[in-house]
Homo-oligomer: A and B are copies of this chain.
């Protein structure tokens, strides 16, 4: 991408209606735009980060053998009445709307009900099971309070996976495989060392659920962490019984603020019973399907990464999810020509700051603010030795490379 051809500018003005560091930096860097409290657009660079996060998740979901589909936002009232969750007093985050042709619709805050109904058409025998299906879909939640930029919003991207198993044993095996996939995902996203599997309330579904909580000062949760074992307890179920049940030592637990980046639920028969999703087993006996659901919020994850992996100079994206890998700056006439040649080799990997309206200092500051992993400076001075300068955004390490060596990295 050439900066001269990209509309989304950076700004030094710190937004005064945002309290979290991530929201301030993402707005200043031109990655997001605020439409309303809790409703944000993703501008080109922000969208690239979000898409890269989604791609990491997609690869790990596919590796689990799950199939991707896309359900709708508009929801059929009658499907949710079957489970009792149409009622605003049961599910209090509904946005509801009216059809001009008559009738009421909802905007999906989650998708257990519609996917259970959908599977009625595809699951009838034990031979059809298990089924694992997931989607990336915009969810709508009518939160009373939006908070911390893209950490808690009213419209957000969600990856939700649903499992349909013959029985508890088959479910449990997949549940653990999915938990392992989640650990792998968070590691690839650069927050593996600060994200912990956390025992939480199972809600209406079961005694416990598993959350994945990332240590984060502006997070809304509090966890008690056994760092050695790498597991934690959410405050909501933190008591002597739970500690004993999990075999943990109370004196070793650290209290931390955290943000929930993923969760996995054993749903059991809650929805298959309500929506009559059954199969005939090996003996021809009709059985209910055993279900689970597994969520990750890619836009929240992006906020948490922006919050945790940033510094006083700006954002700092891990290589795998950065919008571009290199931020290229040329100083001097000969250098600009070299930049044009380098850029042409890999425009998908490079932001070339080719603006003649910006000073070099502004370009250096933008490279840092936007959090691009490597800043590449080509100057007539470095070119005297046939070299370019590569600076690592995270470590600050600087190295001089020959053009040929850098070109090898690019292609």
Q: Does residue A70 face the partner (Cβ distance < 8 Å to B)? A: yes
A47: contacting residue among B36, B68, B93, B96, CB under 8 A: B68
The answer to whether A123 and B7 touch (CB under 8 A), given A74-B140, A144-B100, is: yes
The yes or no answer to A385 lying at the interface (CB within 8 A) is no
- Cross-chain contact A145 with B101 (CB below 8 angstroms): yes
Determine the chain B residues whose CB is within 8 A of the CB of A143 once the complex forms.
Answer: 100-101
Interface string of A135-172 (1 = CB under 8 A from B): 00010101111000000001100000000000000000
- What residue in chain B is nearest A114 (Cβ atoms)? B35
Q: Which residues of B contact A145 (CB under 8 A)?
A: 101
Contacts of A44 in B (CB 8 A): 67-69, 133
Selected from B5, B72, B123, B138, the residue in CB contact (under 8 A) with A41 is: B72
Across-interface contacts of A82 in B (CB, < 8 A): none
Identical chains in the assembly = 2
Q: Which of chain B's residues have a CB closer than 8 A to the CB of A284?
A: none
Query: Which B residues are in CB contact (< 8 Å) with A140?
Result: 73-74
Q: Tell me which residues across on chain B come within 8 A of A42, comparing CB atoms.
A: 69-70
> What range describes how many residues of A lie at the interface?
35 or more
Q: Which of A37, A41, A119 has the most B CB atoms < 10 Å from its CB?
A: A41
1/0 contact string of A70-97 vs chain B (CB within 8 Å): 1111111000000000000000110111
Could you give, for residues 1-36 of chain A, a 1 whenever the CB lies within 8 Å of some chain B CB and a 0 otherwise?
A: 000011111000000000000000000001001011
Closest B residue to A100 using CB positions:
B142
- A99-B39 CB under 8 A given contacts A8-B122, A33-B118, A74-B155: no
**Complex: how many Å from CA A47 to CA B47?**
20
* Complexed CA–CA distance, A37 and B42 (Å): 31
Binding site for B on A (CB under 8 A): 5-9, 30, 33, 35-37, 39-44, 47, 50, 65, 67-76, 92-93, 95-101, 105, 107, 114, 118-119, 121-123, 127-128, 131, 133, 138, 140, 142-145, 154-155, 357
